[in-house]
Amino acid sequence: MRLGTSVGSILLWVASLFAPSQALAQAVGIVGIVGIIEGGATLIRQTTRYALAEGVALNEQDIVETAPGAFAQVELPGGVLVGLGESTRVMFSPRVGKGLAATPLYLLGGWLKTSTAGPFRYTSPAFELSTQGAVTVVQATGASYQVFLESGAARLAPRDAAQAALQLRSGEFAQGREGAPTSTGQRPAPEFLAKVPRQFRDRLPARGEQLARRSVAPKALGEIAYSDVSAWLRTEPGLRLPLLPLWRARAADQDFRAAAKADLAQHPEWEPYADPEGYARRLALEAERRRAREQARQAAQAAAAASAAAAAGGGVPAGRAP
């Protein structure tokens, strides 16, 4: 097969990858409701950005992001209250792949306060926190985190395999950073307390029962740009791979595609969508190399068989002069 023909065929196949997925058209269940909004907060749902408002119901894989100085509260089933401080990014009920456990939320970064009557668990890039009838305040940035257990009991499991999980008791404080073991103390660090969002200093109020009777639709702000979701596409494979079918249609936008192509090292699975021509060429070249290796292998086998036959018959191997 000629390389040009191969590339053309592969490009037709690549184009079919942009077709909308039937699964995305199916309705998804409600996983929470927005109870409080102070300041600016954005909802990313599939390929659209929305202005978040009180009373908006959240669906699986919805992302909520707060602006500097803002606060949002989300109420989950079972009476779980989740407060998001300023500059915080959370995905609710994420779909996850290999190596990542399914939890009600994934904290990418920022400030989070949770209040629960029963068991609750969530994940971040650096740790997993499991609580039992607890109130917790957490600040996370990349591989660094600070956890204050205001009340109840909690299990803090650093995602660094070299570190053991820690059992925290009411009033205890833990902090971790990349390359260092998690440290604990009997009270929060003063610099942590100084930065705690003011909305976290009081008990989170439940408002879900009032808001459940309302039907509030978020206001669409437009299609997502690459910059809106790039932080999520640079996360661990277990989280970002399930986002590919959710957002790949945006690669039809020239600006989104160009930005994703420039960042392919962070998410190589986007190559067929961000650089379809390069992907097609690479597949065609790999196919040619496989074919050449197979031809060489078959030729070597034929030569070995001929030599073996000549030796067995006492004759001269094929291709040699008598």
Output the CA–CA distances (angstroms, integers) from residue 241 to 190, 196, 253, 273, in the order listed: 39, 33, 20, 14
For 30-67, the pLDDT digits (tens) are: 899 999 999 999 999 999 999 999 999 999 999 999 99
For 97-111, the pLDDT digits (tens) are: 888 889 999 999 999
For 230-252, the pLDDT digits (tens) are: 999 999 999 999 999 999 999 99
Query: Mean pLDDT throughout 152-156?
Result: 96
Query: Mean pLDDT throughout 296-308?
Result: 87
pLDDT at 113: 98
Helices then strands, counting H and E runs in the chain, come out as 10, 16
pLDDT of 280 higher than 60: yes
pLDDT at 74: 96
pTM for this prediction:
0.82
Query: Within the chain, where are the H helices?
Result: 3-16, 22-25, 190-195, 208-211, 226-233, 237-240, 244-247, 254-262, 271-274, 276-313
Query: Mean pLDDT throughout 132-143?
Result: 96
Question: Between these two residues, 10 and 245, which has the higher pLDDT value?
Answer: 245
Query: Mean pLDDT throughout 276-288?
Result: 84
Q: Which domains does the chain have, with CATH numbers?
A: 27-211 (2.60.120.1440)
Closest CA to 40 of 1, 78, 88: 88
Q: How is residue 26 annotated by DSSP?
A: S
Closest CA to 259 of 284, 234, 222, 236: 234
User: In 3-state terms, what secondary structure has residue 56?
Assistant: strand
Compute the distance between CA of residue 71 and CA of residue 65 in angstroms, rounded to an integer: 10
pLDDT of 184 higher than 80: yes
Q: Check: CB of residue 127 under 8 Å from CB of residue 146.
A: no
